[in-house]
Structure 1
Amino acid sequence: MAKYILKRLAVSIVTLFVLITVVFVLVRVMPGDPFTGEKITPEIKANLEAYYGFDKPLPVQYFTYVGNLLKGEFGYSMKFMNRSVGDIIALSFPYSFDLGMRALTLSISLGLIFGILAARNRGKKLDLFCVVVAILGTSIPDFIMGALLQYVFGIEWGLLPVAQYLGFQYTILPSIALGFYTLAMVSRMMRASMLEVISQDYIKTAKSDGISNLRIVWRHQIRNAIMPVVTMLGPVVAATLTGTFVIESIFAIPGMGKYYVESVQNLDYSLVLGMTVFFGSVMIFANFLVDILYGIIDPRIRLGGK
């Protein structure tokens, strides 16, 4: 298991290095100039470029940036004066993380339950209900879902606030809007995987051996059926925890999405690069944890890797 973990860790580090390199180059070749405006004279522009290191050759800029990253420094924003990228991430990420955790808890738990119940009650009303929920979740875009929730529960019924993020009641609607698609995907995938496992010969053998139905469901059906669901959790968890731009905009949540959109609009190279690298790091780390989870759930994966 240790060799398997070290191998996956090495792959993650290489992936992160490639990500940093590609994003750094793409940001530098973005069209436009962050140092433009009526008050920006050639002298001021030259001073700003020298301050941010843009007057140096591209390889020097790259190695300087990587060296700063190793120290945990993302640089300073070009538009939010006297504010470092690290401070902006530290300020906005907790909102995105809190919203993402609530959405993930709701979507993964209910998605697994719906998928298992649908498979165990195939062709019945409960199965039909779960299938309808899954179809709606994968068909309705998150911004439409968010607007519908705001209109029905906020405006029409007046039960919940439609914007801001000031307490528990403010988190309910955005959590549902953000997690509904994931709930539907997990439900559909778990149902299909469970149906495939249920029809396997070893399940029939376990029943003929007199093993209890609860043990068959937990030890043999769920454990084998959950692997495809785990496969999709890496990128889904990372994307949800770092915030969804649309949902945060609709519900006026001061998360990472707000600053990321503004950084692109303002050509804030430092902030675009820093937040992209941070987002990519979270995704790579999430995939790394999923790989480890693979090996725990199914030992054949780590043995095959050996």
Structure 2
Amino acid sequence: MAKYLLRRLFISTLTILVLITAVWILVRLLPGDPFTSDKLSPEIKENIMRYYGFDKPLITQYITYLKNLLRGDLGYSLNYKNLTVTRILKDSFPYSADLGVRALLFAVLTGLFLGIVAALNRSRFLDYFCIIIAIIGCSVPDFIIGSLLQYVFGVKLKLLPVAQWQGFKYTILPSVALGFYTLAYVSRVMRASMLEVVNQDYIKTANSKGLSQIQVIFGHQIRNAILPVITVLGPIIAAILTGTFVIESIYTIPGMGKYYVSGVQTLDYTLILGSTIFYGVLLVIANTVVDIAYGIIDPRIRVYKK
């Protein structure tokens, strides 16, 4: 197990390094620069470029950035004056994390429930109802779902606030909007897995032993059918995190998405790189945890030292 963990750590580190390098190169390939403005004279612009080290060869800039990164220094934002990227991430991440966790819990728990209900009621009304929800969730973009929720529950019914992030009521609509696609995806995976598991030999054996239907469903069917859902948790977390960009804009949530979009628009190199690295590390950690959890839940695929 220790050997496996070390191998996963090496692969994760290499993945992050490749991510940093790729984003660093792509950002530099964008047309223009952070200081393109009619108000800046060539002399002032040259001084600013020299101050930030952009006058040096690209390979020198890259090595310097990696050295600073190893010390935990993400640099200063080029757009938000006197603010470090670390400070921006520290102030905005709690909002994005709060929204992401709420949306993830809503999506996974509700998706599992709908998938189980659909599989246990195959070709019945509840099955068709769950399928329709899944089709809508997979077909309609999250920004349309978010706008519809605002209109129906905020404008028409006046049950929930349509924007801001000031209390529990404010978190309901954005969490549902962000998690709706994931809910649909999880329900489809769970339904298909449940229908596949029900015909396995160990389910027939459990039934032949005289176990109750509840014991068979919860003790054998769901436990084995949930494995594919755990497998896709990494991509699910990625979808939740990247989806916050649009949802945070619609609901005016002061999370990381606001700064990331602003950084791309203004070519704020340090902010783009810092945010991407932060997201990348989170996703790599999430995928590693999922791999380990998969082995814990299914004893057949646990990794032992040979």
Q: Same fold (TM over 0.5)?
A: yes
Distance 1:284 1:205 in 2: 39
Give the C-alpha shift of residue 241 in structure 1: 4.0
| Map of 2:173 onto structure 1 | 173
Matched, 1:122 2:122: yes
Is 1:147–2:178 an aligned residue pair?
no
**Residues 167-226 of structure 1: per-residue CA shift (max 9 Å, x gap):** 111111111111111111101110000100011122112211223433322332122211
d(CA) in 1 for partners of 2:240, 2:207? 40
Task: Give the structure-1-normalised TM-score.
Answer: 0.95
Who is 1:46 aligned against?
46
How much has 1:111 moved relative to structure 2? 0.6
Matched with 2:5 is 5
Correspondence for 1:99: 99
CA distance in 2, matches of 1:296, 1:10: 21
Secondary structure of the residue that 1:40 maps to in structure 2? coil
Stretch of structure 1 that moved more, 256-265 or 292-301: 292-301
The answer on whether the counterparts of 1:111 and 1:186 sit within 8 Å (CA) in structure 2 is yes
Answer yes or no: is the 8 Å Cα contact 2:3–2:305 preserved in 1: no
Q: Is the contact made by 2:189 and 2:229 (CA closer than 8 Å) also made in structure 1?
A: yes
Per the TM alignment, residue 33 of structure 1 is displaced from its structure 2 partner at its CA by 1.5
Structure 1 residues 305, 143: closer, same or farther in 2, change over 3 A? Answer: farther
Contact 2:74–2:84 at 8 Å: present in 1 too? yes
Asked if 1:62 is matched to 2:48, the reply is no
- Provide, for residues 251-272 of structure 1, a one-character-per-residue CA deviation record: whole Å limited to 9, x for no partner: 1111111111111111111111
Code of the aligned partner of 1:60: T
Distance in 1 (CA, whole Å) between partners of 2:266 and 2:300 is 49
| 1:200-211 superposed matches below 5 A | 200-211=200-211
Matches within 5 A, 1:1-306: 1-241=1-241, 244-303=244-303
Relative to structure 1, the CA distance from residue 178 to residue 258 in structure 2 (aligned partners, 3 Å threshold; closer, same or farther) is same
1:146 and 1:56, CA in 2 relative to 1: closer, same or farther beyond 3 A? same
Q: Deviations over 1:252-304 (max 9, x none)?
A: 11111111111111111111111111111111111111111111122333449
Preserved CA contact (<8 Å) 1:243 1:256: no
Return the TM-score normalized by structure 2: 0.95
> 1:105: Cα distance to partner?
0.9
Hey, what's the Cα distance between the residues in 1 that align with 2:267 and 2:305? 43
Could you say what the CA RMSD is over the residues aligned between the two structures, in angstroms? 1.7
Give the letter aligned to residue 231 of structure 1: T
- AA matched with 1:91: D
SS at match of 1:165: coil
Once the two structures are superposed, residues 66-119 of structure 1 have per-residue CA deviations (whole angstroms, 9 ceiling, x without a partner) of 121122111111111111111111111111111111111111011111111211
Q: Which whole-Å CA distance do the structure 1 matches of 2:253 and 2:285 have between them?
A: 25
Hey, what's the Cα distance between the residues in 2 that align with 1:305 and 1:168? Answer: 47
Q: In the alignment, is the contact (CA less than 8 A) between 1:93 and 1:242 conserved in 2? A: no
Q: CA deviation at 1:15?
A: 0.7
